[in-house]
């Protein structure tokens, strides 16, 4: 079935360092969504990317959608302890359902 | 800001018992979903619901599962005879009238523990 692969699975950084997580698919995606889940929390929608090569920014977060629409990345500049959580990419699995990657768990050491 | 709500936040049940998980989607949304997340794993799709019927379901959503929209606000997930492996977080989500490209908003989840 459809799946999106996310790397790395875990990332530990010192506060102030940058962080990047990558999402890859073997098939062309119609769009991709990024969600953040804090420990013990629920997925919170961050952004949706639709266009080839699209780049969107939210404060310290930069989201990119590849030219071939097969990969995406989320980059956080100068991480803070509030960035702790698991970042999931998801794609619409050919219908309304979302197919999630396994996520990248980010821990930030103060 | 409107949000999806879910009750209870935590449900503990004995194996073989029936449970009903409740959700109140965002009021003007038309598409409703249930997902589950086993501890430490990814979020998995269970079922989507639109226009008072199931529009899609995953292989996880077997005959033990059912969904219902009993009134204009609630959306429920019933598990008829719970198994140990049903222990997970269950998230309800809803989205608006935009269909496939519309954002899905998740509720806080119900943690189901089957003993």
> Mean pLDDT across the stretch B54-80?
93
Contact A95 B33 (CB under 8 A): no
Contacts of A92 in chain B (CB under 8 A): 100-101
Radius of gyration of chain A (CA): 13
- Tell me the pLDDT tens digit for each residue of B9-49: 999 999 999 999 999 999 889 899 999 999 989 999 999 99
pLDDT at position B101 over 70: no
Of B45, B91, B101, the CB nearest to A42: B91
pLDDT at A96 over 90: no
Q: Which residues of A touch B106 (CB under 8 A)?
A: 35, 42-45
Q: Could you tell me the residue ranges of all domains in chain B? A: 5-96
Residues in B touching A101 (Cβ below 8 Å): 42
Cα separation, A12 vs A33, in Å, equals 23
Cα B52 from chain centroid (whole Å) = 15
The CA-based dihedral angle spanning residues A82, A86, A37, A20, taken in that order and rounded to the nearest 10 degrees: 70
Pairwise CB contact (< 8 Å): B48 & A96: yes
Task: Tell me the pLDDT of chain B averaged across its residues.
Answer: 92
Superfamily of domain A5-109 in the CATH hierarchy: Immunoglobulins (2.60.40.10)
Please give the angle made by the CA atoms of A53, A57 and A63, to the nearest 5 degrees.
45
Q: How confident is the model at residue A92 (pLDDT cuts 50, 70, 90)?
A: confident
pLDDT of residue A58: 96
Structure confidence at residue A100 (pLDDT): 92
On the CB side of A75, CA atoms within 13 Å amount to: 10
The CA distance from B74 to B96, in Å, is 16
Nearest CA in chain B to A105: B40
- Among the listed ranges A1-5, B67-71, B107-111, which one has the minimum average pLDDT value? A1-5
Question: Residue A1 above 60 pLDDT?
Answer: no
Residue B108, burial from CB neighbour count under 10 angstroms (0-12, 13-18, 19+) = middle
Q: Under DSSP, is residue B6 helix (H, G, I), strand (E, B) or coil?
A: strand
Closest of A79, A46, A80 to residue A63, by C-alpha: A46
Number of cross-chain residue pairs from A and B with Cβ atoms under 8 Å apart:
61
Quick one: what percent of chain A has pLDDT higher than 70?
96
Domain spanning B5-96, CATH class: mainly beta
Lowest-pLDDT choice from A59-73, B9-23, B47-61: B47-61
**In this structure, are residues A97 and A45 in contact, taking their beta carbons and an 8 Å threshold?**
no
Determine the distance from the C-alpha atom of residue A86 to the mean position of all C-alpha atoms in its chain, rounded to a whole number.
9
Whole-number pLDDT of residue A95:
73
Q: Which residues pair with B11 in a beta bridge?
A: B112
Which comes out higher in pLDDT, residue B100 or A11? A11
Query: From the candidates A2, A33, A43, A103, which should be mutated to test the interface with B, based on the most B CB atoms within 10 A?
Result: A43
Instruction: Place B99 in a pLDDT band, splitting at 50, 70 and 90.
Output: low
pLDDT of residue A55: 98
Distance to chain B for A93, nearest Cα, Å:
10
Give start and end residues of each alpha helix (H) in chain B.
Answer: none
Share of chain B above pLDDT 70, in %: 96
Domain boundaries, chain A: 5-109
Residue B94 has pLDDT above 90, yes or no: yes
Q: What is the pLDDT of residue A2?
A: 63
Statement: residue B2 has pLDDT above 90: no
């Amino acid at each position: 079935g459809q799946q999106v692969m996310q790397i790395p699975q875990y990332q530990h950084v010192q506060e102030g360092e940058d962080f990047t997580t990558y999402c890859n698919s073997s098939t062309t995606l119609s769009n991709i969504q990024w969600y953040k889940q804090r420990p013990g929390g629920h997925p919170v929608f961050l952004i949706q990317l639709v266009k080839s090569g699209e780049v969107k920014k939210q404060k310290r977060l930069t989201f990119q959608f590849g030219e071939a629409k097969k990969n995406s990345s989320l980059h956080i500049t100068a991480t803070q302890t509030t960035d702790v959580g698991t970042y999931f990419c998801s794609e619409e699995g050919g219908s309304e359902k979302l197919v999630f990657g396994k996520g990248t768990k980010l821990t930030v050491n103060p | 800001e409107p949000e999806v709500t879910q009750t209870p936040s935590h449900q503990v049940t004995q194996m073989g018992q029936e449970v009903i998980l409740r959700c109140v989607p965002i009021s003007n949304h038309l598409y409703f979903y249930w997902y589950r997340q086993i501890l430490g794993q990814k979020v998995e799709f269970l079922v989507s619901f639109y226009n008072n019927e199931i529009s899609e379901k995953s292989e996880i959503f077997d005959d033990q599962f059912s969904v219902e929209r009993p009134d204009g606000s609630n959306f429920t997930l019933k598990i008829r005879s719970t198994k140990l492996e049903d222990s997970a977080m269950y998230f309800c989500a809803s989205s608006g009238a935009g269909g496939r490209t519309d954002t899905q908003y998740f509720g806080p989840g119900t943690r189901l523990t089957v003993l």
